[in-house]
Structure 1
Amino acid sequence: MSVKVVASLSKRAKVDGGRLEFIPPQLPTLVEQPPEDEGWVHEAELDGYRTQIIIDRGGVHLYSKNGRDWTAKYWPIALAVELPCRAAILDGEVIVSGEQGTPDSPVLEAAIWNEPSRLVFVAFDILHLDGRNLAPWPLLQRKQALRQLVEPGAGKIQYSEHFEGDALAILRAMEKTGLDGVISKRADSPYRSGPSKTWLKARY
């Protein structure tokens, strides 16, 4: 299979209709307890590999959190990307379901080399869409745009739901399902690369 490689990486996405470039990811800060005040939404922490999908006139590319082109490793996902857009940058995790139906990192490592057809991309943010830089938008507006692009449900490209309400109750509920923890995000926050206090990670 022929894989086109984007050679140059930068910290900002071009929005002039040309080739898009990798954006370093926003990273959550580890905390002991999830925030309990208002204005936060919560997502399951997935035990996978942070990945960015870039769709532009050069095709579909998948990048690791450090900006390495991993399209060849994730080729079944790349082939499955058929979204109603001309250009987009999606932030998410590549996972594979373990025996309990939850993301499983050791199984993921083995699947990359032996069973790549089991790989799934779970999208939780969108940074660019058809010439528009969405990074300055509030999180919930970006999530709304993402949900219109990626229909919730099964498949190679999935949408990561978020939850509102009692953060500790959500954390306990996720623990029962075998997930590692919860990522809490400010609902009104823009997307900013690097370590962030508007994204918080709490584990059990």
Structure 2
Amino acid sequence: MAWRGLGGLAGARHRWQASSWGDVVLPVPIAAAARSKVASLSKRAKVNGGRVNGGRLEFLPPQIPTRVERPPEDEGWVHEANLDGYRTQIIIDNGGVRLYSKNGRDWTTKYWPIALAVDLPYRTAILDGEVIVSGEQGASDCPALEAAIWNEPSRLVFVAFDILHLDGRDLGSLPLLQRKQALWQLVEPGLGKIQYSEHFEGSALALFRTVEKIGLNGIISKRADSRYRSGLSNTWLTARADATRIPIWRNKT
């Protein structure tokens, strides 16, 4: 589902804000109990080993956009805001729910409020997205993200922008817009811990200027008909609002 004009961007960015309960810092005993529950789920997945009802889903190295000076203006591209968060992959299977960093490290216990919030009506799935923390203006706040992971994890939100697997089906071979449609039906826009990253089909430059004004890092442009391919890609392009500033998440494991 695309943003309808630039006005849709303002509405979409408010969806990145945490739900009301997510803004509350849980008491230490409750937080510790929640971490313990998530750790047990992750441990159970490891104990079960490589087979859970015929096979356990493995981490898929992410598709990485190529950096460009200007976003593409020709047809056949869709554009999304660069949220300036930590790239994250959610894997759901009979072994439990696991969250991985962009380099494949298991960060489930760090992101335990998100792991506990995953409640999708499917047995298996792989979601690609970013973990963010929203600032006061609704835009993602990268400096606050590191602090929230260690001190206020209840503020963390996962914004999904792609789906790679669903109930035994490899969706990575489908065109991007078909994957986005499947993802939108699974993760409807809202104010929960698992949110949907909307895309924009209009002028890339207009969107770029808008996200720059509201303090986001830039935009990512993707070929509408592209398949998902791990590694550096020329069908995903990123144009930064400030080319001299390196987002923290790009240096994280």
Work out the CA distance in 1 between the residues paired with 2:104 and 2:201.
32
CA contact (8 A) 1:26 1:193 kept: yes
Q: How many angstroms apart in 1 are the aligned matches of 2:235 and 2:180? A: 15
Aligned amino acid, residue 28 of structure 1:
P
Q: CA deviation at 1:99?
A: 2.6
Residues 88-167 of structure 1 mapped to structure 2, 5 A cutoff: 88-167=125-204
State whether structure 2 residue 73 is matched by structure 1 residue 36: yes
Task: Tell me the C-alpha RMSD between the 2 structures.
Answer: 1.5
Larger radius of gyration: 2
Mapped contact 1:17–1:131 kept (Cα < 8 A): no
Q: Which has the higher strand share?
A: 1
- 2:100 aligned with 1:57, yes or no? no
Partner of 1:10: none
Contact 1:77 1:157 in 2 (8 A): yes
For residues 148 and 89 of structure 2, the distance between their equivalents in structure 1, rounded to whole angstroms, comes to 19
Find the aligned partners of 2:172 and 2:54 in 1 and give their Cα distance.
16
Q: Of 69, 72, 75, which aligns to 2:109?
A: 72
Q: Percent identity?
A: 78
Q: CA deviation at 1:181?
A: 0.2
1:38-77, Cα deviation, whole Å (9 max, x unpaired): 0000000011100000000011000000000000000000
- After the TM superposition, which of the residue ranges 117-126 and 17-26 deviates more from structure 2? 17-26
**Structure 2 unaligned regions, length at least 5:** 1-35, 242-253
Equivalenced residues, count = 198
| Structure 1 counterpart of 2:223, one-letter code | R
The CA deviation at 1:100 is: 2.3
- TM-score, scaled to structure 1: 0.93
Q: Which amino acid aligns with 2:74?
A: D
SS of equivalent to 1:82: coil
Alpha-carbon distance, 1:133 to partner: 0.3
Say which SS state the counterpart of residue 105 (structure 2) adopts.
coil
- Which structure 1 residue ranges, 5 or more long, are not aligned? 8-13
Shift of 1:18: 2.6
Structure 1 segments (4+ residues) deviating >4 Å: none
Secondary structure (helix, strand or coil) at the match of 1:188 reads coil
Work out whether residues 180 and 203 of structure 1, in 8 Å CA contact, stay in contact via their aligned partners in 2: yes
State the alpha-carbon separation in 2 of the partners of residues 51 and 172 from structure 1.
26
- Displacement of 1:17 after TM fit? 5.3
Residue in 2 aligned with 1:21? 58
The CA distance in 2 between the partners of 1:129 and 1:199, in whole Å, is: 22
**More displaced 10-residue stretch of structure 1: 104-113 or 16-25:** 16-25
More helix per residue: 2
Aligned residue among 175, 199, 204 for 2:236:
199
Does structure 2 retain, via aligned residues, the 8 Å contact 1:18–1:57?
A: no
